[in-house]
Structure 1
Amino acid sequence: MAIIRFEHVDRVFHQNGQDFTALKDINLEVKDREFVAIVGPSGCGKTTCMRMAAGLEHPTGGTVSVDGVVVRAPGPDRAVVFQQFALFPWKTVWDNVEFGLLSLGIAEAERRRRIEHYIGLMGLHGYERAYPHQLSGGMQQRVAIARAYVLDPKVLLMDEPFGALDAQTRVVMQEELVRLARQHPRTVLFITHAVEEAVYLADRIVVMSRRPGTLREILDVKSARQAERWDEIERIEDVMDQPTFVHLRTHVWKLLREQQAPGDTH
């Protein structure tokens, strides 16, 4: 069953008296508890797709729906994790994680149970009374992920959540997210610039064209993961040595190279 559905979605922006098309005829379904990563050239509309699923932007044409309901605004069925941690600097770790539960009117005993569970799961025990400025970037993103999961959302939307982290911390967080996804599976739409990250995390990878963004190709990763038993391999670097991982990574890179704009060196 499709949980997230884009149907003939266009997105046109109006700037400086001119219209420009960011997305054109996007058709995509994300199934229940499926992890889908979107990659593509800068400015192709990846984040715009995520924001429309979150209800933070609206399509110019077509519809975006979640669980059969057209998205018109943010809702508790969808949690968002951004690249820039988006924590309240004046609130402690505990209070940041609790914030969404308070807005939903969750009873105190249930709030405490959920918060303790996800603080433990994200390795935050002992930091409950710390403030964001006292934490490393990786620890802050652990708080942001705990805050998203504690809401028990149907859908998790992640916009380059590890993009601001150093390489070593990024790898650790990727491994943590895989572990968390196994224990608490959710429907995930994940935006990233990192090809290796997409192949490691996703069940399917959506490769977009340069602007106006269209769907260039959709690749199945889940079957490769199952065939080579990636889930039984402890370290991410060993997964990346698997033949199918190397093939998928190379294929995605070739697709992105083909979409590189003239004169674009990034």
Structure 2
Amino acid sequence: MGSIRFQNVDKVFGASQAGVKVLDDINLEIGEKEFVAIVGPSGCGKTTCLRMVAGFEAPSSGTITVSGKVVSEPGPDRAVVFQQFALFPWKTVRENIDLGLRNKNLPAAERDRLIADALKLMNLESHAGAFPHQLSGGMQQRVAIARAYVLDPDVLLMDEPFGALDAQTRVVMQEELVRLARVNPRTVLFITHAVEEAVYLADRVAIMTRRPGRIKEVLDIKSVRLAENWDRFARIEDVMDQESFVHLRTQIWKSLREEKGAQGV
């Protein structure tokens, strides 16, 4: 469960004649428990792709399916992590994680077990009673990810989730997400402007053209990662020093520069 398929997807905002075409004939398949990152110039429709998978937007034409079912609205099989943490400031870490579970009408004992598992997964056990204002940005995003994971979704949709973090915290969260992807894999669609982040995290990277966005090419990162055994390194800087990593990063940057040049990518 959890495969995603874009089939001949177009998206136009506004009236048909005066509207703005954002996406043009998007075709992309994401396999079960595969981590795919989308990069592309600003305004190319990356986030629109994610919002359509989430069910927040509808394609103007074409279809999007998750687990073989056409997406027509949001559903519990998909969880979204946004750039802004979107935590309720008057609720504790535990209460924020519990929100989605309450909507599922689970018994209290079952909710307690699932929350405990999510807190442990994200190393938040000692912060369960804290309020968001008492946490760093990185810790708040951990809570947001825990809130998504606790619902046990087939698909995790992440829209530049580390974009609001400082550089050092962003690196820590990237390493944390790699750990999660290994120990508790989900199908992940990850939107980012950061090329290094995409190469480090993803199994494949889809590169989009300038608007109207199309899939220009898709690079297989996982085969390189496995061949070079990047997982033997505990730190991102050690992976980024590898010749294979540098080659992939450069390849993506060249492709993006062809679309929009150095400015605005």
Structure 1 length as normaliser, TM-score?
0.96
How many angstroms does 1:113 deviate by? 1.0
The equivalences for 1:31-180 within 5 A come to 31-180=31-180
Q: Distance in 2 between matches of 1:73 and 1:90?
A: 29
The letter of the residue matching 2:25 is D
Q: Distance in 2 between matches of 1:145 and 1:252?
A: 27
The residue that corresponds to 1:183 in the other structure is 183
Q: Distance in 1 between matches of 2:160 and 2:129?
A: 27
Q: Distance in 1 between matches of 2:260 and 2:130?
A: 44
CA deviation vs aligned residue, 1:155-198 (integer Å, no higher than 9, x gap): 00000000000010000000000111111110000000000000
Q: Distance in 2 between matches of 1:3 and 1:109?
A: 31
Equivalent position SS for 2:153: coil
How many angstroms does 1:26 deviate by? 0.2
Q: Distance in 2 between matches of 1:164 and 1:2?
A: 28
The letter of the residue matching 2:165 is L
How many angstroms does 1:2 deviate by? 7.3
The residue that corresponds to 1:228 in the other structure is 228
- The root-mean-square deviation of aligned C-alpha atoms, in Å, is 1.4
How many angstroms does 1:66 deviate by? 0.4
Q: Distance in 1 between matches of 2:174 and 2:107?
A: 32
The letter of the residue matching 2:259 is Q
How many angstroms does 1:108 deviate by? 1.4
Larger mean Cα displacement after TM superposition, 1-10 or 227-236: 1-10
Are 2:199 and 1:193 aligned? no
Q: Distance in 2 between matches of 1:254 and 1:61?
A: 31
The residue that corresponds to 2:210 in the other structure is 210
Structure 2 length as normaliser, TM-score?
0.97
Q: Distance in 1 between matches of 2:245 and 2:212?
A: 29
The letter of the residue matching 1:25 is D
Q: Distance in 2 between matches of 1:168 and 1:265?
A: 23
Larger mean Cα displacement after TM superposition, 176-185 or 105-114: 105-114
Are residues 53 and 231 of structure 1, via their aligned partners in 2, closer, same or farther at CA, if it must alter by over 3 Å? same
Equivalent position SS for 2:42: coil
Identity of aligned residues (%): 67
Are 2:240 and 1:240 aligned? yes
Q: Distance in 1 between matches of 2:94 and 2:264?
A: 43
Q: Distance in 2 between matches of 1:157 and 1:124?
A: 21
CA deviation vs aligned residue, 1:10-39 (integer Å, no higher than 9, x gap): 000017x82110000000000000000000
Equivalent position SS for 2:20: strand
Equivalent position SS for 2:216: strand
Kept in 2, the 8 Å contact 1:158–1:188? The answer is yes
Q: Distance in 2 between matches of 1:38 and 1:110?
A: 36
The letter of the residue matching 2:5 is R
Equivalent position SS for 1:18: coil
Are residues 132 and 67 of structure 1, via their aligned partners in 2, closer, same or farther at CA, if it must alter by over 3 Å? same
The residue that corresponds to 1:252 in the other structure is 252
Q: Distance in 1 between matches of 2:259 and 2:241?
A: 26
